[in-house]
Structure 1
Amino acid sequence: MDADVLEAIGLSHLHQVGPESLSKLLAGSHRKDVPARTVTHREGDTNQHLELILSGVVRVFVRDPDGRTMTIRYCRSGSLLGAASLFAPEFSLPASLQTLTATKLLSLSPENVRQIVNEDPKVAVALLEELSERVLTFIYQIPGSAFASVRQRVARHLLDLASELAPEHVRAGPEPKSELVVTASQSELAEAVGTAREVVVRILRELRHEGIVHTGRTGIVILDPARLVQETRWNIGS
């Protein structure tokens, strides 16, 4: 088993599954290398899937009829995608999934997973915990959107802007990271999150000192998208 797969499993709810069942779960799985800003699954899709993120950041979002989007969740290494599709009758994906950076996925066989669930209670418990976390994520989305700190709102808006970047604004950073260049001004950020420009300047200074972003003439460079995702910790499922 590759080192990145073992590391991602250790970060996921599957870490509690025994070696024998884990080997069965991974039988028939295959890796996917997905470029940045790729929509891997669209709202309304009915295909069953279970994917483990090995590296990168994936955005889960919904879109209204006017074209506006709202991010529900940002997913990093160790996140499982699509567990509900294996068990929900007449499943229809309620949101779309888009890679924010170049992302490595491990796609598991849905039929294989369901079979192992019937054989090993630990696998069933792991997926129940995953699904429970997803429910809590959506519940916390409401107060999180209303009561998040200004720093959390700035981090989230930077990630939302990054999700709309053209490919030329996504560049390779030190492995396995990607850097994203956001051209929004400090004043535009302040207006978007509902605060004063001076507050945004202070927050960007903090993020810069922590090595998460770099600011310059070309815009705001997100040096470490995964660490910026951690700034939105009101969403415990992200």
Structure 2
Amino acid sequence: MNYRLLISTSHETVDGLAMDADVLKAIEVSHLHEVAPESLRKLLAGAQCKDVPTRTVTHREGDRNPHLELILSGVVRVFVRAPDGRTLTIRYCRPGSLLGAGSLFAADFSLPASLQTLTATKLLSLLPENVHRSVNEDPKVALALLEELSERVLTFIYEIPDSAFASVRQRIARHMLDLASELAPEQVRVGQELNTELVVTASQSELAEAVGTAREVVVRILRELRHEGIVHTGRTGIVILDPARLVQETRWNIGS
């Protein structure tokens, strides 16, 4: 589908929404890519772009508010938290992912997990009433959301063997992302400035213990990641230079 009909070479507004390059690119890689331009205009009417800082929880477990958000840029982590404070990441979401589709259609909905930005993230928030109207009017919109929900179901099913059978490199990548995302902003200040880098402060021995391997294996894998430009190691810890590529490392299967 050619969505360039929706935008000019700079910006065009659709009911106040600036259809810039980020919106166009995200739509083209999302399940909405087959929706016709006119239906897309109706679906996006009144939608709002918002910039969300690093390590911000946008929705918390138990929230009941209906929402549908398209990730335009950045990475979002979906996680659950145990009573003792430990967390388990269920999913990492990249540009083109739709967040919250289940909240629009599940009866007595309660968000089963929390959402947190792993990097500075731009989201496009759609109006729930427009989504419902578009689903009723255009089967392709309904199909797009059905595909999104089906993908999420498969992702959660695959998460079980993913955790059990992932390689040591994949487990280390996931654990570093988890540790970096849980670091409180006040813990990453440099002088008076807020350091927005993703930093892992755990030692190599702690990483090895967490993923069930030897320290020597962690040293080798960190060396590989450093040579590939994904991380940098220094006195402050392990700095994740390319979160998107590290997220890709965590994928044991194509559905995650």
**TM-score band w.r.t. shorter chain:** over 0.9
Which of 52, 64, 67 pairs up with 1:49? 67
Q: Which residue of 1 aligns with 2:176?
A: 158
Which of 95, 107, 119 pairs up with 1:77? 95
Q: Which residue of 2 aligns with 1:136?
A: 154
Task: Measure the CA separation in 2 of the matches of 1:149 and 1:156.
Answer: 11
Q: In the TM superposition, what is the alpha-carbon distance from 1:237 to its structure 2 partner?
A: 3.8
Q: Which residue of 2 aligns with 1:100?
A: 118
| 1:99-136 alpha-carbon deviations (Å, 9 max, x no partner) | 11111100001110111111111111111100000000
Contact residue 182 and residue 219 of structure 1 kept, 8 A: yes
Listed as ranges, the gaps of 5+ residues in structure 2 are: 1-18, 191-195
Contact residue 43 and residue 126 of structure 2 kept, 8 A: yes
Counterparts in 2 of 1:1-238, with a 5 A limit? 1-167=19-185, 169=188, 179-238=197-256
| 1:56-107 alpha-carbon deviations (Å, 9 max, x no partner) | 1111111122221111011111111000111111111111111111111000
How many pairs are equivalent?
232
Task: Measure the CA separation in 2 of the matches of 1:116 and 1:157.
Answer: 39
Contact residue 181 and residue 198 of structure 2 kept, 8 A: no
Contact residue 60 and residue 114 of structure 2 kept, 8 A: yes
Contact residue 170 and residue 180 of structure 1 kept, 8 A: no
Q: Partner amino acid for 2:232?
A: H
Q: TM-score, normalised by structure 2?
A: 0.87
Q: Partner amino acid for 2:234?
A: G
Contact residue 183 and residue 218 of structure 1 kept, 8 A: yes
157-166 or 178-187, which deviates more: 178-187
Q: Partner amino acid for 1:41?
A: H
Q: In the TM superposition, what is the alpha-carbon distance from 1:190 to its structure 2 partner?
A: 0.7
Cα RMSD over matched residues? 1.4
33-42 or 44-53, which deviates more: 33-42
Task: Measure the CA separation in 1 of the matches of 2:105 and 2:252.
Answer: 28
Q: Partner amino acid for 1:42?
A: R
| 1:118-172 alpha-carbon deviations (Å, 9 max, x no partner) | 111111111110000000011011111111100100000000001112325389x
Percent of pairs identical after alignment? 87
Q: Partner amino acid for 2:107?
A: P
Contact residue 179 and residue 225 of structure 1 kept, 8 A: no
Q: TM-score, normalised by structure 1?
A: 0.93
Task: Measure the CA separation in 1 of the matches of 2:189 and 2:167.
Answer: 27
Contact residue 101 and residue 170 of structure 1 kept, 8 A: no
CA, structure 1 residues 125+214, in 2 after alignment: closer, same or farther (shift >3 Å)?
A: same
Task: Measure the CA separation in 1 of the matches of 2:241 and 2:249.
Answer: 14
